[in-house]
């Protein structure tokens, strides 16, 4: 959180995730997966969206996976990836500034009575 200085350990862990998102291809992969019907996408769908070879896409997916941003599951011949909301919420929580009205972490973690 930007309300208090990060410890060195916290900064290392968070930086790993931010770094994983610090590439245009990975960011587009993430948005393709997240916005895909059913919340998951098969690798074959993703590869077609880029002018890149399969191994390169595979590499980027691995970086996202190892950073905890996505998770994959094999079903038959295909592998399906989906976003891990908890990880993204962690980033969002960090970005909340001391002066902000409402903490974004609450919005991400679920129940807000007001809208019901």
Chain residues that interact with a second copy, rule: CB under 8 A? 1-6, 8, 11-12, 14-16, 18-28, 30-32, 34-35, 39, 49, 83, 85, 88-89, 91-92, 95-104, 106-108, 110-112, 114-115
Of 48 and 99, nearer to DNA (C-beta) is 48
102 binds, among a second copy, DNA, none (CB under 5 to 8 A by kind): a second copy
Compute the least distance from the CB of residue 38 to a second copy, in Å: 11
Distance of CA 58 to the CA centre of its chain: 16
End-to-end distance of the chain based on CA atoms, in angstroms?
Answer: 28
DSSP-assigned beta bridge partners for residue 40: 82
- Cβ atoms < 10 Å from Cβ of 57: 20
Residue 74 contact among a second copy, DNA, none, beta carbon within 5 to 8 Å by kind = DNA
* Residue of 47, 90, 92, 109 that binds DNA (CB under 7 A): 47
Q: Which residues of 45-55 are buried (b: 16+ CB within 10 A; e: fewer)?
A: ebbeeeeeeee
């Amino acid at each position: 959180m930007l309300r208090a200085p990060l410890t060195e350990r916290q900064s290392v862990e968070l930086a790993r995730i931010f770094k994983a998102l610090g590439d245009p291809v990975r960011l587009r992969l993430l948005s393709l997966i997240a916005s895909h019907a059913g919340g998951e996408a098969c690798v074959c769908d993703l590869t077609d969206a880029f002018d890149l070879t399969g191994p390169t896409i595979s590499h980027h997916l691995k970086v996202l996976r190892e950073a905890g941003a996505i998770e994959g599951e094999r079903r038959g011949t295909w592998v399906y990836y989906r976003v891990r909301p908890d990880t993204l919420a962690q980033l969002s929580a960090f970005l909340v500034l001391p002066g902000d009205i409402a903490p974004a972490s609450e919005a991400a973690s679920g129940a807000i009575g007001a809208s019901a």
